[in-house]
Amino acid sequence: MMIAITRQVSPAIVRCELTHRQREPIDPERAAVQHRNYEHALAGLGCRIISLPVEPDLPDSVFVEDTAVVLDELAVVTRPGAASRRAETTSMARILAEHGPVAAIQAPGMLDGGDVLVLGRRVLAGLSTRSNREGIEQLRALLAPHAYTVESIPVTCCLHLKSAVTQVAPEAVLLNPDWVDESVFEDHRRIRVAPAEPCAANALLIGDSVIYPTAFPRTAARLEQAGIRLLTVDISELAKAEGAVTCCSLILRA
């Protein structure tokens, strides 16, 4: 069984951190409804949901992915690049410690979970405005005893590495070739986002299905043509806070 750790939407999401989007009005109640539907999608794919209580003073706390990198052998609690988000990791560390060993990134390292893509024993870490070389080096040192390799990849056109590429099948990735070097994924089948949908590369693989936003129908058609089974969700309100489908959960094995 898979466990999906989520957190309820904070009413303070209207004050979220933004890097690449213009600020738009966010309806917290609508965002909360969309988030509940997202949790239902996870449950429908066999995940047991651990829904953490709202953090009213932490605007971005619904985006739990950035607080940790979870592997079968170890959970690494991150040190987010946005200082306003660092308090989010305290409660997450306590929860993760109930399920296995936990380590943590230390200052001056910075690492957002959204910058970390795990492909088997190969871990790709985005060097971005939210994750620095020191954070990636610490991740490398923590994972080396468990036979993982960690490679850094520059991120310049988007918030996180997973804004540019995610895994959609054991052998396939979905990517925006303008935002990430395709040659890095030569061992995988590469599915490109539709040109009119540059932000469409974020997808969440659960078992043999993919949770995917309703906002990108052209790319969804490409995925379905490639044999990828989709479960679509509307996260349009969360997207105004630069959120995506991987951002809203941490997935671990029970």
248: annotated active-site residue: no
130 exposure class (CB count in 10 Å sphere: 0-12, 13-18, 19+):
buried
Q: Give pLDDT, residue 95.
A: 97
Q: Is 21 helix (H, G, I), strand (E, B) or coil?
A: coil
Q: What is the mean pLDDT of the chain?
A: 97
Q: Give pLDDT, residue 159.
A: 94
Cβ atoms < 10 Å from Cβ of 191: 19
DSSP label at 20?
S
Any idea where the domains of the chain sit in the sequence?
Answer: 2-253
138 close to 105: Cβ distance less than 8 angstroms: yes
**26-70 tens-digit pLDDT:** 999 999 999 999 999 999 999 999 999 999 999 999 999 999 999
247 close to 114: Cβ distance less than 8 angstroms: yes
Through-space distance between the first and last CA atoms of the chain, rounded to whole angstroms: 5
The closest alpha carbon to 8, from 81, 48, 58, belongs to 58
Q: Give pLDDT, residue 156.
A: 86
DSSP label at 86?
G
Mean pLDDT, residues 227-237 taken together:
98
78 close to 102: Cβ distance less than 8 angstroms: no
| pLDDT at residue 20 greater than cutoff 90 | no
Domain 2-253: homologous superfamily in CATH: L-arginine/glycine Amidinotransferase; Chain A (3.75.10.10)
Q: Give pLDDT, residue 4.
A: 98
Cα separation of 211 and 41, whole Å?
7
Residues listed for the chain:
254
Cβ atoms < 10 Å from Cβ of 53: 9
Cβ atoms < 10 Å from Cβ of 252: 19
158: annotated active-site residue: no
Q: Give pLDDT, residue 109.
A: 98
Name the CA radius of gyration of the chain, rounded.
17
**187-217 tens-digit pLDDT:** 999 999 999 999 999 999 999 999 999 999 9
**62-105 tens-digit pLDDT:** 999 999 999 999 999 999 999 999 999 999 999 999 999 999 99
User: In sequence order, what are the beta bridge partners of 191?
Assistant: 174
Non-local CB neighbours of 148 within 8 Å, separated by 6+ positions: 71, 121, 122, 123
The single residue of 47, 158, 160, 199 carrying the catalytic annotation is 160
Reported pTM: 0.97
The single residue of 16, 47, 158, 247 carrying the catalytic annotation is 247
